[in-house]
């Protein structure tokens, strides 16, 4: 995770992978001191995984339901090509201001280096 303090950037959101270790007071204090908001919410909150669920839905609709592959290796290669070649570099994301993730990261890096 990178951190770039800038008043021009939207608030940074940290999504923990495991809930238990990220609920400690010490951890949340570190996040708050850097202006980072944790996305950890109460159990059962459906918004916690919305971005990941949206990604997998898009992957299935755009790629997986339209093709079949003779081997797992071929499917793995196609998924990699979809994610790295199209999804991250070309596909525009509304949550990123209609930029691709690659373009969004480039803009973020430019703001941080300025």
**DSSP annotation string for 5-74:** --TTSPPEEE--SSSGGG-SHHHHHHHHHTTEEE---STT-GGGGHHHHHHHHHHHHHTGGG---SSHHH
pLDDT score recorded for residue 60: 95
pLDDT, residue 36, reads 77
Q: What is the pLDDT of residue 1?
A: 43
Per domain, the residue ranges of the chain are 1-42, 49-114
φ and ψ at residue 12, rounded to 5 degrees: -80, 140
pLDDT at 89: 93
In angstroms, the Cα distances linking 44 to 20, 23, 47, 48, 103 are 15, 16, 9, 8, 33
pLDDT at site 25? 79
In angstroms, what CA-CA distances link 72 with 65, 68, 81, 85, 102? 15, 10, 14, 19, 27
pLDDT under 50: residue ranges of the chain? 1-2
> 36-38 and 12-14: which strand pairing?
parallel
pLDDT at residue 12, rounded to an integer? 54
To the question of pTM greater than 0.75 for the whole model, the response is: no
> What pLDDT sits at residue 103?
94
Upper half-sphere CA count for residue 59 (Cβ side, 13 Å): 17
């Amino acid at each position: 995770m990178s951190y770039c303090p800038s008043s021009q950037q939207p608030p940074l959101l940290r999504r923990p992978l495991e809930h238990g270790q990220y609920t400690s007071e010490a951890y949340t204090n570190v996040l708050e001191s850097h202006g980072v908001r944790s996305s950890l919410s109460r159990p059962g909150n459906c918004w916690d995984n919305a971005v990941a669920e949206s990604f997998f839905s898009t992957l299935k609709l755009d790629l997986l339901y339209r093709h079949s592959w003779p081997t797992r290796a071929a499917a793995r290669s196609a998924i990699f090509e979809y994610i790295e070649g199209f999804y991250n570099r070309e596909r525009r994301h509304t949550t990123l201001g209609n930029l691709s993730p690659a373009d969004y990261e480039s803009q973020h890096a430019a703001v941080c280096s300025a």
